[in-house]
Structure 1
């Protein structure tokens, strides 16, 4: 990409704020996607400025987290099946213990 970087003072401030907020990698990524989607090749960085002002700081991945609210019917079913499986395992272990004790 080769574009002109002729900005008005207020536009330089907008660019500075976007860099501070979102970081250079996020702005480069946005520019690359905008460049590919452009109907004609942009000649000025002003083409990207409006999009850059809307780019937000990337969110940090914090891993999976619980969803608030009542459990779904599917989750209730899965919980019931897990409980049944635990009970059946316990019954089988008890039967195995009894069989092992009866053979001694």
Structure 2
């Protein structure tokens, strides 16, 4: 996280590290760091402890298993990109 510009204290001791390790396993380090970086920048760097991030980290979705194929994102088959209609389509009897 320091390499991403997030410098905070890590006050966890003993078994307090187990939830953090579980979050690393669930969401992955890149997701945790990205979340922390957004919060850190949003707060203007006014975060002193990594404890601040834990509740947000718990809400992150699990990362996909290795080898998982990304699904197609188009929900409607035959989708066409929007095209601006010709200017004549906006003409009316009043000359606007």
Pairing partner for 2:62 from 57, 64, 68:
57
Runs in 1 of length 4+ with deviation above 6 angstroms? none
Query: Could you say which structure has the larger radius of gyration?
Result: 1
Deviations 1:47-100 (A, max 9, x none): 111111111124563113656xxxxxxx8xxxxxxxxxxxxxxxxxxxxxxxxx
Query: CA 1:2/1:64 → structure 2, altered by over 3 Å: closer, same or farther?
Result: closer
Tell me how far apart the structure 2 counterparts of residues 18 and 46 of structure 1 sit (CA, whole Å): 13
Query: CA 1:35/1:20 → structure 2, altered by over 3 Å: closer, same or farther?
Result: same
Tell me how far apart the structure 2 counterparts of residues 30 and 8 of structure 1 sit (CA, whole Å): 23
Gaps of 5+ in 1: 68-74, 76-104
Gaps of 5+ in 2: 1-5, 79-96
Report how many aligned residue pairs link the two structures: 70
Deviations 1:2-43 (A, max 9, x none): 111111445312111110000000001100111112266101
Tell me how far apart the structure 2 counterparts of residues 64 and 50 of structure 1 sit (CA, whole Å): 29
Name the one with the larger helix percent: 1
